[in-house]
Structure formats: C-alpha cells, structure tokens
Amino acid sequence: MSFSTKHPAPGSPEDGGSDDQQPAIEYDEARIAAAGDDAENQDDFFDQHDFDRDLADQVGVAGRRYTLNDGNAIPPIGLGTARLNDAAAEVAVYEALNAGFRLIDTAANYENEAGVGRALKDSRLPREDVFVTTKLPGRDHGTDSVRRSLEGSLRRLHLDKVDLYLIHWPNPERGLYVDSFRTMLELREEGLVGSVGVSNFTPEMVDELIAKTGEAPAVNQVELQPQYQQEALRAHHHAHRIFVEAWAPLGYDSKVLEHEWIREIASDQGHTPAQVVLRWHIQNGVVPIPKTSKTKRMAENLDVFGWELTPEQMHRIKLMHTGLSASGFNPLEHEEL
C-alpha cells in the first residue's frame, strides 16, 4: 500500500475516516470474568514515569506531566490538527489553549504549521507552558534533508525549538529512518529539539534504532484505540521507557463510540462515550491525541481527570480488541511523501 498525498486524505491515517461498519464481534460475560487484573501493571507504569495520579486529578490539565525517558515532561493529553487547514488550525489551537490544552500536535505534511504558530503567539502563554510536536515528512528522510526540514517547520511555527520531533512514518522501502533518527538526535544536542521520537514504528524498527544509535526514542505515536489496542507494542515500549501516544484515539472507521459496552459504561459513569475512551487511554498510560475544532468538544475531552473507570470496565473495554487496524495502513508497506 502506498500513500501519495501530502497530507492525510479522507479515510487515511490520523483522520476520523468514514463510518463504514466493522465486522461484528461476539462478547460474553464469561470473557469479562476471565480477564486478568491490570491494576498492578498500570501502577508500575505511572511509577516509572513519575506521574502522581492522585495529584493529577486535583489540578488543572496544564499542571499534569509525564516524565519521558530523556527527562523531559509531556502533558497527558493533546490536540491533534490533522486535516485542519491553516486557518482552521489557527482557530482550533487558539481555542484549545484557552480551554486548557497544553500539548499541540502538528506535522509538516498537515500544511498548517503556520496557523499553529500564529495561535501559539496570539495565546500569549509562556513558551515553556506549551508542548509543541511536529513531524518529519517522508520526502525529507536522510541525513542531508532532516535539518532543512526542521528549519522549515520552525520558521512556519515561529519557534526556536520544538518540544518533540517525530519521524512521521518509517518509509521502510527508502531505508533512511535510522540516518534520520541519528540526525534528529544531533539537532536535539544543538537545542533545536527537546525530545526525539517516532510515529507508526513497529517494535522491531525501534529495536533497530536502539541497536544502531544507542538510544531509544522518547515517544512512538501510533494508531491505538479500544478495537486496536497494540498490547505487544505497549509492553515492548514499557520495557524501554518509550512513551506511547495514540492518533485517532476515539476510533477510526470502527464505531467505537457507538459500541454497546462503551455506551453502557458512559451511562454508568455519567460521562460521554468519548470521555470514557479517552479515560481508558489515560489509565493505560497512553497519551491520546484527539482531533476536534469544536470548543465544546475540547472542554469535554479535557474532562477526563478526577474520576476513574472501574477494573471491570477496563476489562470490558480490553475485550473489545479485534487485532485489526481500522485505518488499513501498514507501517511495513506504507511510504509517505
């Protein structure tokens, strides 16, 4: 499979896609009862990343942070800007910052970095209060291109530094992601990048980065939602203290928010289906990056602290996993421009 557009098109990565129905999955109460208790693993994760859940649920979202493997701190939820044009991104980011978001996720291939930069400036928030992520496009892989690409992103964002720089897709056919990662580490040492990470990488690709550069990425941003839970990847990354972010965390052509169990849990909790799914991510130690341009939805997406899903509810959502990517994009085949 290939992907030739310069930014996500309808039905492509990091977008909500269409409403196509996924194959029906049968569930039963016996499977819920048989599920293991993940509480110990969750506590271990939060201890590893110096995250005080009790304190986090008492303060505003702006005061919450996880500690990455390089010592930098990242907020526990962010705003995605995929498929927002420059003007729409400017408005959405400005409103998101006013609502309390402190992690903003963009990319060179979203073609909206300039709008994001204007919103950051207009917000008048201290630079250190906002965590800005952008991504290296596939066409700029390679030692000689990475620096030029980052300089372009910084210029459009009106920033001297990005807090997190990700390789957007591995583009395995080109075989340049190791060289690109190594160059990004050099840019970090020069102060142009805070943390270096990847997006849509498999555990095997991450192992190759570690073996050839001696350093693990701080973050891997991947497709992750209740019907595609990436448990093996999360376990691998936990062992290497690599943080997992989720794009399309509310589902991607998967009807996650309409699933009977999600709606039942939402009713029991007194929260929306979207809030339940975002809370599931957070209790699993994943940073969700939901995308919205609606102010009301932004406020709802931030209202995922100060309450918890019960162990049974977490188990029930765990059993929604189908093992199938809803986006259909395979990192082993996909080549981004």
Q: Catalytic residue, from 66, 94, 110, 177: name it.
A: 110
Predicted TM-score of the model (pTM):
0.85
The stretch 16-42 carries a mean pLDDT of 39
Band of residue 43 on the pLDDT scale cut at 50, 70, 90? low
Angle between helices 273-283 and 311-318 (to 10 degrees): 100
Residue-level pLDDT at 331: 96
Q: Where are the domains of the chain?
A: 29-318
Residue-wise pLDDT for 274-299, tens only, equals 999 999 999 999 999 999 999 999 99
Fold of 29-318: TIM Barrel (3.20.20)
Concerning whether 66 is annotated as a catalytic residue, the answer is no
How confident is the model over 237-248, as a mean pLDDT? Answer: 98
Of 199 and 2, more confident: 199
- The rounded percent of the chain whose pLDDT value lies above 90 is 79
